Amino acid sequence: MAETATTAEGEAPAGPAGRQRMDSVLPELRAMWWETGVRARAEAGLFAVFAELPRLIWAALRVSWRVDRVRTLVVVATTVGAGVMAAFGLLATQRVLVELFAGGPTAEKVVAALPALAALAAATALRAGMATAMGYAQNGLAPKVDREVERGLFEVTTAVRLEAFDADAFADDMERASRGADSTTDLVQSSMNLLAGLAGLLAVAVAVAVIHPLLLVALLVATMPNAWASLRAGHLRYQTYAAGSVRRRRVWLLHRLMAERDSAPELRSYGLRRFLLDQYDRVMGVETDIQLALARRVTTTTTVGSMIAGVATAVVYVLLGLLLVDGQIPLAAAATCVVAVQSAQRSLSVVTFQVDRVYTEGQHFRDYTGFMTRAAAYLPDETAHPAGAVPDRLREVHVDAVTLCYPDRDVPAVDQVTLTIEAGQTVAFVGENGSGKSTLAAMIATLRAPTGGTIRWNGRPLPEWDVDALRARIAVVTQEYHKWPFTAATNIAIGDIGAEPGQDRIEAAAARAVAHEMITELPHGYETLLDRTFANGQDLSGGQWQRITAARGFLRNVELLIMDEPSSALDPRAEDALFQAIRDRQGRATTILITHRLANVRHADQIYVLHHGALVEAGTHDELMTARGRYSELFALQAAGYDTRQTAAAPLPHQTTGA
Ligand SMILES: Nc1ncnc2c1ncn2[C@@H]1O[C@H](COP(=O)(O)OP(=O)(O)OP(=O)(O)O)[C@@H](O)[C@H]1O
C-alpha cells in the first residue's frame, strides 16, 4: 500500500509536462527522507502489531494514571470485576441448564435451578453496574487526558528555539504530533476497552475450559479469522495515513489559501481561483485514488475474514454435534458452549476492533511522544548554564566575531561581525535587503544563537545570563509583526504582559507610537477586537497595525529597544513622530534601529553598514558621508529621489548589486 501511495504522490495527472509542472509547483509532494521511519513502522507485520500492544497499553495506562488515579483505578477494577462476573455468569448458565436438562417433573427442575438462576441474575446485574461505572470513569478521563497531552505539546512548541521553525521536517513532525495528541484519548479509551474485552474473552475461555477443554479449541477456531481480518484492515489504514502526511499538509494549505481572508484580495486580483482549484483537484485526485484503493483492499480483507469465520463457526457446531452424539459431553455443556461461542465472538469482535484502534492510535501517539523527544533537541540548553545569573542594567553590548549560518544555507547570513553598543546610544543597522540586519538584531535579542562568535551583555556571554530575565530587559519590534487577535488594548499590553499594565500606561505608549488617536476612533476604542473573523471585530490598515506594534515596544520601556523597520508602512507625519519618540530615548536608553529610510538614521550615534552579512562600514552619518563608501552611495541615491533638480538633470549614482 505504501508503494501505491508513494508512486501516486509523485504522479502528475497529465503526462511528463504535467508531471514537471506539478513537481515545480508542488515540490513537497515528493516523498521525503524523514517519512522513511514512519513507513517502516507502518509496514510492520501483524506479529509486530502484537509485539507492540503491551507497550502501547502500558503507555496509555501511564498517561491515564498521571491524569486521574481514581478514575484509572475504577476502570481497572471494574474491568477485572466485569470479567469475573462474565465467567461466573457462564458457569451459572451451565448450572441452570444442567438442572433444567435433568430428569423429573418440570416444576421441581425449575425450583432446583432457582439458586443458579438467582446467581446468574446477580452476576448479570453486577456486570451491567460495573460497565456503567467503567463508562462513567472513562468519560471523565477523556477531557483530562486531552488537556494534559495538548498542553504538553504547547509547552514544547512555545519553548523551542526559533531554528526549529526553519526546519522543514519540524513542521511535518509537528503536524503528526498534534494528530497524535488528539489520538491519546482514543488510545487510552481503546486500551481500556481492549482490556475489558480481553477480560471478557478470558472469562469465557476459563468457563469453557472448566466445562470441557476441547471446547476451548472450538472457540479459537470460530473467532480467529475475523480477528485477523480486522487487524489487517487497521494496518492498511495506517500505512495510507503515514504515506499521505505531506499531501494532507498541502491540502490544508490550499484550504487556507482559498478560504481565508488574508489571501482573498490577491486571489481575486491575480485571478488565482482556477489555478488554486486545479492544484486542489490534482492533490485530491491523487488522494481519492489512494482512498479508493484502500477501501477496495479493506473490503476484500474483511470479506475474506467473514467468509472464513462463517465456515469455521459451522465446523465448530458440527464438532459439538458429533461430541454430543458420541456422548463425550452432556447436553447442558453443549448448549452452554453455543452460548459461549456467541459471547466469545461478541467479545472478540470488541477485542479485535480495539486492537486495531490501539495499534492505529498508538502509532499516532508515538508520533506525539517521538516529536516531544525530538523537539527536546530544540529546547534551550539549560544544562549548559543551569543557573543563569540575573542580568544587571545594560552598560554595554559587545558583539564579538559573530556569525550565523542558517541550516540550509551555504553562505552565512551574518559573517564575523564585531561591534560594541554603549548604553544610551542609538545605533542603526543599515544595508541592502538580505544583508543580515534582522538576523544580527535577532541574535542580540537572544532570539537566535550565533553559530560562531560571542555576544556579551555587560561583558558576560548571553547564554550565561538567565534568558527570561535578559529578554525582560529587551523589547523587539519586529519587521514581521504578528496581528494578535485580541483587543487594541491587549495588543499593546502584551508588550509587558507580566506587569499587567494599566490603561494609562497603554495610552501613553500608544501616544508615543502615534496610535492613540487612531485607536480612539475605532468603534469601541481600546476595547475594539482586532480580528475581523469575530463578530464586531475590526481590521486595521498596514500602517495602523505598525503603530500598534511600535506602541507595544514602547510600552515595555526597557533598556534595549530593537526596532526593525518600524516605519515601512507609516505616513510621513506618523513616521516623523515615531522617530522623534525614538530620538527622545537617546542618551537615556539604548536603541537599535533598522531601517531603509536613511534620513531617519542621521542622528544615530553609530551607523553600522552590513553587506552580504559582513560589517563593511561603521561611523556617524557625517563620517560615513565623508568616507564616500556604500552608505554615502545609498544615502545619495535615496536623497536624489527627493531632489527634483537632480532627478531631472543628473544621472542617479549607480546602485551596487544587493543580495
Ligand atoms: N529563517 C531563515 N532561514 C534561512 N535563511 C534565512 C532565514 N531568515 C533570513 N534568511 C536569509 O538570511 C539572509 C539575511 O536575512 P536578514 O533577514 O537578516 O536580512 P535583512 O538585512 O534584515 O533584510 P531586509 O532588509 O530585507 O529586511 C538573507 O539571505 C535571507 O534570505
Apex 153 CA angle, 150 and 158, nearest 5 = 125
Nearest CA to ligand 1 atom 4: 406
Q: Is the distance from the beta carbon of residue 600 to the nearest atom of ligand 1 less than 6 Å?
A: no
Using CA atoms, how far residue 155 sits from 147, 149, 151, 159, 612, in Å, is 12, 10, 6, 6, 36
Q: What are phi and psi of 555, to 5 degrees?
A: -55, -35
User: To test ligand 1's pocket by mutation, which of 165, 439, 567 has the most ligand atoms within 8 angstroms of CB?
Assistant: 439
Confidence of residue 645 (pLDDT cuts 50, 70, 90): low
Task: Using the atom order of ligand 1, give the atom closest to the CA of residue 610.
Answer: 21
Contact of 388 with 467, CB cutoff 8 Å:
yes
Residues 260 and 308 in one domain: yes
- Does residue 24 belong to any structural domain of this protein? no
Domains identified in the chain, total number = 3
Q: 639 CA to middle of ligand 1, Å?
A: 26
Answer whether residue 96 shows pLDDT above 50: yes
Q: 451 CA to middle of ligand 1, Å?
A: 15
Of the residues 377, 402, 420, the one at which a domain ends = 377
Apex 54 CA angle, 140 and 294, nearest 5 = 85
Nearest CA to ligand 1 atom 16: 436
Q: Is the distance from the beta carbon of residue 659 to the nearest atom of ligand 1 less than 6 Å?
A: yes
Output the pLDDT for position 11. Answer: 34
Of the residues 334, 353, 377, the one at which a domain ends = 377
State how far the Cα of 303 lies from the Cα of 289, in Å rounded to an integer. 21
Residues 177 and 113 in one domain: yes
Output the pLDDT for position 398. Answer: 97
How is the chain split among helix, strand and coil, in percent rounded to 5? 70, 10, 25
Answer whether residue 27 shows pLDDT above 70: no
- For 391, other C-beta atoms within 10 Å of its C-beta total 21
236-289: per-residue pLDDT in tens? Answer: 877 787 777 777 778 888 898 999 888 888 899 888 999 999 989 988 988 888
Answer whether residue 606 shows pLDDT above 90: yes
Local structure of 31: helix, strand or coil: coil
Q: Which of 277, 290, 276 minimizes the C-alpha distance to 246?
A: 290
- Does residue 234 belong to any structural domain of this protein? yes
Q: 577 CA to middle of ligand 1, Å?
A: 28
Q: 409 CA to middle of ligand 1, Å?
A: 11
Q: What is the mean pLDDT of residues 568-585?
A: 89
Q: Any residues with CB less than 8 A from the CB of 84 and at least 6 apart, and which? A: 203
H or E element, residue 590? strand 590-594
Nearest CA to ligand 1 atom 24: 433
112-144: per-residue pLDDT in tens? Answer: 888 888 998 999 999 899 989 988 998 999 899
Of the residues 326, 344, 377, the one at which a domain ends = 377
Q: Dihedral sign, CA of 507, 510, 516, 520?
A: negative
Residues 594 and 514 in one domain: no
Q: What is the mean pLDDT of the chain?
A: 83
Residues 501 and 611 in one domain: no
User: To test ligand 1's pocket by mutation, which of 166, 402, 405, 406 has the most ligand atoms within 8 angstroms of CB?
Assistant: 406
Q: 418 CA to middle of ligand 1, Å?
A: 19
Quick one: what percent of the chain has pLDDT higher than 70? 89
Q: Is the distance from the beta carbon of residue 412 to the nearest atom of ligand 1 less than 6 Å?
A: no
Q: Is the distance from the beta carbon of residue 66 to the nearest atom of ligand 1 less than 6 Å?
A: no
User: To test ligand 1's pocket by mutation, which of 165, 402, 432, 437 has the most ligand atoms within 8 angstroms of CB?
Assistant: 437
Residues 84 and 121 in one domain: yes
Output the pLDDT for position 301. Answer: 87
State how far the Cα of 470 lies from the Cα of 480, in Å rounded to an integer. 22
Q: 430 CA to middle of ligand 1, Å?
A: 13
State how far the Cα of 276 lies from the Cα of 254, in Å rounded to an integer. 7
Q: 434 CA to middle of ligand 1, Å?
A: 5
Confidence (pTM): 0.70
- Does residue 17 belong to any structural domain of this protein? no
338-389: per-residue pLDDT in tens? Answer: 777 777 777 777 787 788 788 878 888 888 898 999 888 888 776 555 667 8
Residue span of the structural domain in which 580 resides? 392-473+559-652
Output the pLDDT for position 42. Answer: 61
Output the pLDDT for position 479. Answer: 80
Q: Dihedral sign, CA of 34, 38, 39, 40?
A: positive
Amino acid at 278: D
- Does residue 441 belong to any structural domain of this protein? yes
Residues 212 and 76 in one domain: yes
Q: Which of 659, 156, 161, 167 minimizes the C-alpha distance to 443?
A: 161
Query: What cell numbers appear for 136 in the block?
Result: 462513567
Residues 549 and 580 in one domain: no
Q: Which of 90-94, 200-204, 215-219, 475-479 has the highest mean pLDDT?
A: 475-479
ipTM passes above 0.90: yes
Nearest CA to ligand 1 atom 19: 434
CATH number for 576: 3.40.50.300
Q: Is the distance from the beta carbon of residue 409 to the nearest atom of ligand 1 less than 6 Å?
A: yes
- Does residue 344 belong to any structural domain of this protein? yes
Q: Any residues with CB less than 8 A from the CB of 281 and at least 6 apart, and which? A: none
CATH number for 319: 1.20.1560.10
Q: Which residue has the higher pLDDT, 234 or 452?
A: 452
- Does residue 273 belong to any structural domain of this protein? yes
The number of angstroms, rounded, from the C-alpha of 249 to the middle of its chain's C-alpha atoms is: 12
State how far the Cα of 437 lies from the Cα of 162, in Å rounded to an integer. 17
Local structure of 97: helix, strand or coil: helix
Residues 315 and 336 in one domain: yes
Residues 143 and 275 in one domain: yes
Output the pLDDT for position 619. Answer: 96
Residues 552 and 566 in one domain: no
Nearest CA to ligand 1 atom 25: 433
Q: Is the distance from the beta carbon of residue 434 to the nearest atom of ligand 1 less than 6 Å?
A: yes
Q: 436 CA to middle of ligand 1, Å?
A: 6
Q: Is the distance from the beta carbon of residue 413 to the nearest atom of ligand 1 less than 6 Å?
A: yes
519-562: per-residue pLDDT in tens? Answer: 999 999 999 999 887 878 888 999 999 999 999 999 987 899 99
Burial 477-505, CB ≥16 within 10 A → b, else e = bbbebeeeeebbbbbbbbbbeeeebeeeb
Residues 464 and 544 in one domain: no
- The maximal CA–CA distance of the chain, rounded, in angstroms, is 128
Lowest mean pLDDT among 187-201, 214-228, 433-447: 214-228
34-88: per-residue pLDDT in tens? Answer: 444 345 446 666 777 788 889 989 998 899 999 999 999 998 899 888 888 888 8
Confidence of residue 25 (pLDDT cuts 50, 70, 90): very low
- Does residue 40 belong to any structural domain of this protein? no
Task: Using the atom order of ligand 1, give the atom closest to the CA of residue 432.
Answer: 25
Residues 321 and 218 in one domain: yes
- Does residue 150 belong to any structural domain of this protein? yes
Q: What is the mean pLDDT of residues 502-520?
A: 94
